[in-house]
Amino acid sequence: MQYDAESFSKLLAESKDAISPLKMKRSELALILSRQKMSFELIYELEEIAESQGVIMAQIGNDFLFVSNWNDCDSLRVYKERYSEKELAECQELAEARFAKLWETLRVDTSDYPTLEENKEALIDLLEDYMGSVQELLLKLPSTLEGTLDEFFSDMELIKSGYSEFMSSQHLDSDDLECDLREFDNYYNNYSHDDLFDSLPAKLLVNVDITCEEPPINEYYLCFNALFGEIGGVVSQINENYYYLTDIRKGLYADKVSAI
């Protein structure tokens, strides 16, 4: 059916950001959609589209309600309603002060580690130490995150063991390690560090407090963010070193074959 689809999409987007349900008369909706009248068929079609976009469209008499369908804790929306910009800024300032103190007990001193050129296997020890800091941070949390990081720890173990096995072998490459490195990059690195509510550490802390009583801007969030950043850096080095070595091994193998 013919209607102004762009205007309807904007209406759905506005509904998602709204703190309270959007309400409008039938005639107002018809005007927005550039329609003279709202048929039952069109209303049904619009309801289906709204539902697919996470918005509940309901008709009450001559009025329509648009409500964002958020069953889980929608942290960004709750914090918009509950905290002012000033309160969030003060909260962050306090968190950074507490973070500085907490980070001293968690950070890994890399000054004693050999450089990558000196010992490429040192990356395994460095990754283990950072994972140990994550586990220590979990113990310091006021609420439990039991089970939340199981998959993450499992992925790290696969990368660690796969890299160790490759380094101690003469294999040209490792399909399993390449797959694990790709999965890490796709899942853990594809979020913006500038977007607090889309980052993995923030999601972990929202899981701690499912009632959304506190914003995830605290020293624990900052420590998680720092640790995941360090771990991501180590995994990137592992990735870089793996492909560097596999290119060398394949080159040497090709030279041997051509010499036969």
- pLDDT computed for residue 208 by the predictor: 47
Q: What does the domain layout of the chain look like in residue ranges?
A: 5-68, 75-259
Q: Inform me whether the pLDDT recorded for 75 exceeds 60.
A: no
- pLDDT computed for residue 11 by the predictor: 92
- pLDDT computed for residue 76 by the predictor: 57
Confidence band of 72 (pLDDT split at 50, 70, 90): very low
Q: What's the average model confidence in pLDDT over 92-105?
A: 87
Q: Which fold has domain 5-68?
A: Arc Repressor Mutant, subunit A (1.10.10)
- pLDDT computed for residue 9 by the predictor: 92
pLDDT digits (tens, 9 = 90+) for 197-210: 445 555 555 454 44
Per DSSP bridges, beta strands 55-60 and 63-68 are antiparallel
Q: What's the average model confidence in pLDDT over 6-13?
A: 91
pLDDT digits (tens, 9 = 90+) for 221-252: 788 888 888 888 889 889 999 999 999 999 98
Model confidence, pTM: 0.61
- pLDDT computed for residue 114 by the predictor: 59
Q: What's the average model confidence in pLDDT over 157-182?
A: 92
Question: Which residue in 113, 111, 135 sits closest to 223, CA to CA?
Answer: 135
pLDDT digits (tens, 9 = 90+) for 130-164: 999 988 988 887 766 666 678 888 889 999 999 99
Mean of pLDDT over the chain: 79
